[in-house]
A and B are shown apart, each in its own frame.
Chain A
Amino acid sequence: METYGDASLGLLGDPTRRAIFELLARQPSSVGELARQLPISRPAVSQHLRVLKEGGLVVSRAEGTRRVYQLNPAGVRALRAYLDRIWDTALTSFQKTAESDDLEQEQQ
């Protein structure tokens, strides 16, 4: 995948932010839960979450003593970014397959 024309998607240009976004797409999570699944510190996770919140992709809510982060359900940008990730993955896979010499064999 090479280019995207929308600045808001630059929010997901950072691999760690993208990883956080995808984890939240699977399950709303706290900072600690995210940090356990990533090779970065809790403060670093918080920093990325702040950028995602400011960009409108993520919202947070209090759940007892925890603060839980999730994709912004009112944000069409979240849906758009989500679909964008799907096409990114799909087109990369398409590229690999199209350039593979084994394709004809795989089809048989």
Chain B
Amino acid sequence: MTIPPLTGTITVAVPVERAFRVFTESINTWWPAEYHIGGVDMAEAIMEPRAGGRWYEKGVDGSECDWGRVLTWEPPSRLVVTWQINGQWQFDPDPEHASEIEVRFTADGAEHTTVELEHRLIERLVAGEAIRDALISGGSWSAMLELFAKAC
């Protein structure tokens, strides 16, 4: 089974270098609060600035939950990260079980940047029964992340 990738495009009124920097180094400043893990406040979302780096969440108690890995690090134009969670909401190191998020940053003049995002290989997540269960019970994104947090 294959699920068509999700795509989204947004234009920001900043130079491409800044757009890339904010998206990666400053992910903690923009990641929406409602997608934080409930129960345990998130102190920081962190993306290590290199291919092979981790993309993870650090709680106020210092605990860390991996979300995925940086596959491609090409500042300021391209970023690919994985979101790899198995059916038990644990980090799964097998790249065959990871969905991928590619983000492309294209300068549109000196002061604007087009950001294109593609979330693909979603079918690898669907194999995780936990997601289906969460949807059946009406689980929110927070609830899903709580499951993930417990598994960490």
Interfacial residues, chain A to chain B (CB-CB below 8 A): 1-6, 24-28, 70-73, 76, 78-80, 82-84, 86-99, 103, 106-107
Contacts and interface: CB of A to CB of B under 8 A. Distances in A.
Interface string B64-90: 000000000000000000000000000
Contacts of B13: 99
26 contacts: A1-B9, A4-B6, A4-B8, A24-B138, A25-B139, A25-B141, A28-B138, A76-B122, A76-B126, A79-B126, A80-B4, A84-B8, A86-B141, A89-B32, A90-B31, A90-B32, A91-B8, A92-B10, A94-B23, A94-B30, A94-B115, A97-B29, A98-B12, A98-B19, A106-B29, A107-B26
B interface SS class: mixed
B141 A99 contact: no
A59 to B, nearest CB: 10
A contact patch SS: helix
Interface string B20-52: 001100100111101100000000000000000
Contacts of B115: 91, 94
A88 B132 CA distance: 21
B110 interface: no
Interface residues of B, number: 39
B51 to A, nearest CB: 22
Given A90-B32, A93-B31, A5 B22 contact: no
A25 B10 contact: no
Interface string B111-122: 000010101001
A92 B30 CA distance: 9
B117 A87 contact: yes
Contacts of A98: 12, 14, 18-19, 22-23, 30
A5 B35 CA distance: 24
Interface string B82-112: 0000000000000000000000000000000
A3 B11 CA distance: 11
A50 B61 CA distance: 45
